[in-house]
């Protein structure tokens, strides 16, 4: 993000920027390879193609804020790989991290990895180091330390069904693995911040919290996410969960989150009510069914519906309810931006 984009984002999150509106999207490997007309495996394996794809995005849509911006990532594999997960790669699809815990008793064997040496995190850092000067030369800076959330990582290490069952039937073991994952995540975020001092934001992505009940949310989500978002002082504490968010949203203030990208299945009004109007919201167009599969008229109509659904636009970043999905036409992105600007 440029200095201007970052400063506007901070003001928006603080509630001191009403106009002009901000249009922003989370972009990474589901969308960028197709947008740049390369294979997904090339996006991951070639630093230059990764850089060029991101540059094309910011040059094609200079008025749009892409978050986190020049995201160095390897799909869902980055953090699980540090714990020893086998990463399965595909030419034109996202990679997958195999689970490493086949029995709940194996949790005792899970040790905290070192993000400086273990798995893919060192490659994330090295790519950013290699391209930091070219990124800066484009007027952008590395703004966010990024990690998958603890429940998300646990679901890869154990399997989603197995982890969800453990939260109910084996709370002691669940706390043990979440403790190790949380400690690692804090180390990982702090390492990113130490390496790139311009970082002033934390981005955590965890959809699994959308599948737990209220009691489990209080026990397994609130305490560990609270610690993670206190990894270092950050102006932007950004959380992404595009699964169900009505249970967890009531705890976002307590956790310390101030920017939330949420599911398109919820309205702005619902989430504002759950968060006492204290958190800036980023959403909430259906990413797949409208932004990707719709035509420009569909996009314009839905933007109009979004804008008209809420009176106060001060704490809204106009986006989709999730990350940018594959195969979104550039025309739809431009229509989204133009319609927001015309209406506001």
**pLDDT digit string (tens) for 143-198?**
999 999 999 999 999 999 999 999 999 999 999 999 999 999 999 999 999 999 99
| Helices of type H across the chain | 3-14, 32-36, 40-45, 47-60, 78-82, 121-137, 150-158, 160-169, 171-195, 214-216, 222-229, 252-255, 268-274, 296-308, 330-343
51-67: b or e for each residue (b if 16 or more CB lie within 10 Å)? Answer: bbbbbebbeebeebbbb
Query: For 108-151, what is each residue's pLDDT tens digit?
Result: 889 999 999 999 999 999 999 999 999 999 999 999 999 999 99
Confidence of residue 103 (pLDDT cuts 50, 70, 90): confident
Percent of the chain with pLDDT over 90: 96
- Inform me whether the pLDDT recorded for 317 exceeds 80: yes
Architecture of domain 3-343: Alpha-Beta Barrel (3.20)
pLDDT at 16: 86
Q: Average pLDDT in the 3-23 region? A: 94
- The model's pTM: 0.97
Q: What is the mean pLDDT of the chain?
A: 96
């Amino acid at each position: 993000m440029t200095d201007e984009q970052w400063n506007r984002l901070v003001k928006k999150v603080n509630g001191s920027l009403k106009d002009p509106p901000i249009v922003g999207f989370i972009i990474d490997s589901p969308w960028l390879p197709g947008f740049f007309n390369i294979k997904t495996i090339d996006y991951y394996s070639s630093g230059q193609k990764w850089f060029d794809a991101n540059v094309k995005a910011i040059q094609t849509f200079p008025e749009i804020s892409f978050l986190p911006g020049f995201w160095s990532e390897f799909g869902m594999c980055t953090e699980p790989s540090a714990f020893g997960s086998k990463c399965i790669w595909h030419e034109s699809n996202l990679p997958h991290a195999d689970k490493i815990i086949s029995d709940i008793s194996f949790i005792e064997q899970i040790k905290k990895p070192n993000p400086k040496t273990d798995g893919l995190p060192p490659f994330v850092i090295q790519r950013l180091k290699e391209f930091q000067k070219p990124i800066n030369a484009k007027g952008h800076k590395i703004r966010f330390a990024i990690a998958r959330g603890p429940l998300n990582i646990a679901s890869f290490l154990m399997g989603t069904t197995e982890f969800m069952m453990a939260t109910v039937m084996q709370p002691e073991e669940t706390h043990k693995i979440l403790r190790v994952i949380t400690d690692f995540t804090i180390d990982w975020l702090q390492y990113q911040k130490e390496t790139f001092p311009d970082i002033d934001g934390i981005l955590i992505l965890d959809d699994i919290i959308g599948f737990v009940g209220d009691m489990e949310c209080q026990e397994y989500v609130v305490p560990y996410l609270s610690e993670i978002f206190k990894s270092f002082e950050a102006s932007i504490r950004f959380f992404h969960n595009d699964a169900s968010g009505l249970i967890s949203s009531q705890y976002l203030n307590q956790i310390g989150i101030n920017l939330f990208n949420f599911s398109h299945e919820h309205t702005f009004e619902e989430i504002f009510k759950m968060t006492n109007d204290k958190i800036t919201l980023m959403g909430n167009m259906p990413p797949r069914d409208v932004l990707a599969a719709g035509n420009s008229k569909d996009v314009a109509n839905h933007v109009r519906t979004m804008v008209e659904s809420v009176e106060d636009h001060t704490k809204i970043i106009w986006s989709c309810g999730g990350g940018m999905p594959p195969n979104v036409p550039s025309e739809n992105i431009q229509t989204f931006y133009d319609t927001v600007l015309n209406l506001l």
